[in-house]
Structure 1
Amino acid sequence: MPTIDRIDAFADELTAIRRDLHMHPEIGFEEVRTSNIVAEKLDQWGIEVHRGLGGTGVVGVLKGKGSAGRRIGLRADMDALPMEEHTNLAWRSTIPGRFHGCGHDAHTTMLLGTARYLAETRNFDGTVHFIFQPAEEGLGGARAMLKDGLFQKFPCDELYGLHNAPDLAHGEIAILPGPAMAGADFFDITISGYGAHGAMPERSKDPVVIAMTLGQALQTIVSRNVDPLQSAVLSITQIHSGSAYNVIPGEARLAGTVRAFSDDVRKLVRERMRALAAGIAAAFDVEIKVEIRDIFSVLVNQQAQSEVVAEVARSVVGEANVITRSQPKMGSEDFADMLQAIPGAYFWVGHDGDVPVHNPGYVLDDKILPIGASMFARIIETRLPVAANV
């Protein structure tokens, strides 16, 4: 597999960086140690460093040979998840309730590997912006960087990002032109009822019964309101109510997520959620508050940049390992917000292991670090060729 020899030569150093980040995970907007390491490495390699975008975000700027004015952005996320790690790795998390269970430590390391290689070779004509983003896991890190003027300060003509994929075989690269990942809303529903003794339910306005009724009703939105040829998911992932066996509580809360590949479908689901909540509130004579937050946009890969990824992947992993997905992922990624501003593509790098991301037993295969770093580097060398101002 023709990964870049120079990157292969320092693969052990990349593994050491990745495992150090894994041992010291930081969740969204708290990536102080991580961003310090990123900034120090970039500075060490002679790359111009800018800090503080979106809170803990870091951007490195590197100019290549020649005088071409084209600029390409490469993005990696840095944050961990607020969950426990259940592995026996020697480099497992040392911080309770914090775990790089999505592999963002690897994404950060891959981009550092690319930065080191390009700083050493500068075999490109133009400018590369290395974007290290905080808070991808539903906290709005991309939007925070955009609000701080990311692409006004660091303009890009194209943009690329990646994610590890334990559902693919080691060395496989997957890319899907068009809508590739779902947009997502998070919701919180509060039912304000009236509490009573558990033996006297007639004196209550039981929010637990109302929550079960509303929960069932919400499940009809996808099955009875959304066009069957469209994809949508509505999942209630939290139910909170009560504190004793013999007390009917006064309040119940539901929370969860909505996913879809169409903004029109997302709008429909939001409207139906509010309408059902209002109707059930009237039926049971209670107050129901519905808060729905737009967290992730639909991630859309542009055709031209998707073809670039596929072309580069053939040179890095071979034709047989390049996959154009026939179906998009229902998961979400806030890189989507960056792609709404700059044309680009987001792809997946397969690795050994059958435990999915966001599982406490998830393990990343360090052998993919040179693959991801080589993919990013070859994209730059392909799109910003020396002696060709295109």
Structure 2
Amino acid sequence: MTLDLHELYRQLHQIPELALHEFKTHALLMKQINALASDVDFVEIKVPDQLPTAILVLLHGTKPRRTIGYRTDIDALPVTEDTGLPFASQHQGRMHACGHDIHMTVAMGVLAKFIKAQPTDNLLFFFQPAEESENGGKLAYEDDVFTGQWRPDEFYGLHDNPQLPAGAIGCRMGTLFAGTTEVDVHFTGTQGHAAYPQFANDMVVAASQFIGQVQTIVSRSVDPIEGGVITFGQFNAGTIRNVIAGEAELHGTIRGLTQKMIEHIDERLQAVANGIAASYNCQVDLHLNQGGYLPVENNPHLTERFIQYMQQNPDVNYIETEPAMTGEDFGYLLSKFPGTMFWLGIGDPKHQLHSSELVPNEAAIEPGISAITGWLQQRMTEKE
């Protein structure tokens, strides 16, 4: 079968689906995979009962010493597309605004290369649902998807980057993406009349004071070299102007480049919450949910080899990158398996990831496939 990668990309772009509901995407991917593997006896395909939009494709190697995993995410975002593309999203209010359509297309291209020429080592391709929410990588691991022959010895995956030139490969030693934690805070005091504040306990004041004190965590409790972010994007309180609010809610996020830093910020947040509760004689309930969004900490040994290969390959435009405060649930899988995540440039510097106007340059597809295929072939020659 001849695989038209650009047509596949455009088809995927038109059918974006949210986490754990990637049914049309799953069907299109399965159609392509089955066609590629129709006359091949070294390919096995698995759809986990417990995660029915996921797909695992195992290519048995000719002389396997290891099983190398390659992961791509398949879900989209609740964003209304505003690109004007002739192949724009057909699903209202949903878009591949994070470029997972590029991710899938590149993965399919790499898969096609190794189906055409059987690999030496075993290769496991994991088409993962629910990266943007619902912790798809963590769900797969906890549901024992990676057992027996389906368990990789190491894992690789990419994320597209609109700020890098189309087709460039970016990476770094250490942390590539921050870990993230969702923060929900509920304040309970006493509602009352605006004219009689002495008989009420105002939670707008308590929550505001909490926000102010939280700002000192990063500025005074975090090593500035390591960095961290705490952002509250939602503040809900009150019902009318002349009633003192007896309840308030805050919703925000923590970002940190190491798990140790995230846990430190968690502890400081709880201490501030306890202090506000005591100072304002109110109840403060703090809920922290990290799920599978751990920092993407690249394995030193494998990443050093990966970078050396990309630097020495004259056909690769390799760029050393800084860590990013964006989150990625591949961090969970890298906490369980050694591996490396890297960037693929898609050359749209005017727009950020998650933008309704993001338009990846399709010229990134073939160089991405070539660089990844070359690295995997190189890795299969290494004994360690």
- Measured after TM superposition, the shift of residue 312 of structure 1 is 4.3
Match of 2:127 among 132, 140, 146: 132
Shifted more, 295-304 versus 159-168: the winner is 295-304
Q: Which runs of 4+ in 1 moved over 6 A?
A: none
Q: Which residue matches 1:60?
A: 57
How far 1:83 sits from its partner (Å)?
2.4
Work out which of the residue numbers 14, 23, 30 in structure 1 matches 2:14.
23
Assess if the C-alpha contact under 8 Å between 1:125 and 1:389 holds in 2.
no
1:228 aligned partner: 224
2:346 corresponds to which residue?
351
Structure 2 stretches of 5 or more lacking a match?
38-42
Work out whether 1:335 is the aligned partner of 2:326: no
Describe the SS at the equivalent of 2:265: helix
Counterparts of 2:11 and 2:237, CA distance in 1: 40
**Correspondence for 1:307 among 304, 308, 323:** 304
Q: What percentage of aligned pairs have identical amino acids? A: 31
Residue pair 1:74, 1:376 contacting (<8 A) in 2 also? no
After superposing the two structures, state which structure 1 stretch, 297-306 or 105-114, moved more.
297-306
1:307-339 C-alpha deviation (Å, 9 max, x unpaired): 3433443576636x21223x3122221111111
Q: Which of the numbers 282, 288, 301 marks the counterpart of 1:286? A: 282
Q: Distance in 2 between matches of 1:86 and 1:186?
A: 28
Corresponding residue to 1:149 among 137, 144, 148: 144
Q: For the residues of structure 1 that align with 2:147 and 2:173, how far apart are their CA atoms?
A: 26
Distance apart, 1:204 and its partner CA? 2.8
TM-superposition CA deviations, 1:183-231 (whole Å, max 9, x none): 2211100112222344544443222222211111111111111223321
Give 1:246 shift: 3.6
Cα shift at 1:119: 0.9
- The count of corresponding residues between Structure 1 and Structure 2 is 375
Query: 2:102: which partner in 1?
Result: 106
| Mapped contact 1:312–1:375 kept (Cα < 8 A) | no
Q: CA deviation at 1:369?
A: 1.5
**Alpha-carbon deviation of 1:363?**
1.7
Instruction: Specify the SS of the correspondent of 1:229.
Output: coil
Report the Cα offset of residue 164 of structure 1.
0.7
Aligned residue for 2:270?
274
Query: TM-score, normalising length from structure 2?
Result: 0.91
Alignment-derived partner of residue 297 in structure 1: 294
Matched, 1:249 2:245: yes
Is 1:36 the counterpart of 2:27 in the alignment? yes
| Equivalent of 2:365 in 364, 369, 378 | 369
User: What is the aligned partner in structure 2 of residue 180 from structure 1?
Assistant: 176
What is the rounded CA distance, in whole Å, between the counterparts of 1:308 and 1:161 in structure 2? 15
The residue that corresponds to 2:40 in the other structure is none
> Counterpart of 2:354 in 1: which secondary structure?
coil
- Counterpart CA distance in 2 for 1:97 and 1:248 is 37
Shift of 1:266: 1.8
Q: Determine the C-alpha separation between the residues in 2 that align with 1:156 and 1:49.
A: 15
How many angstroms apart in 2 are the aligned matches of 1:141 and 1:375?
26
CA distance in 1, matches of 2:283, 2:132: 31
On the 8 A contact 1:61/1:127 being kept in 2, the answer is yes
- Kindly provide the CA deviation profile for residues 249-282 of structure 1, in whole angstroms up to 9, marking residues without a partner as x: 3321111111112333222211111111121122
Q: Which residue identity does 1:367 align to in structure 2?
A: A
How far is 1:285 from its partner? 1.8
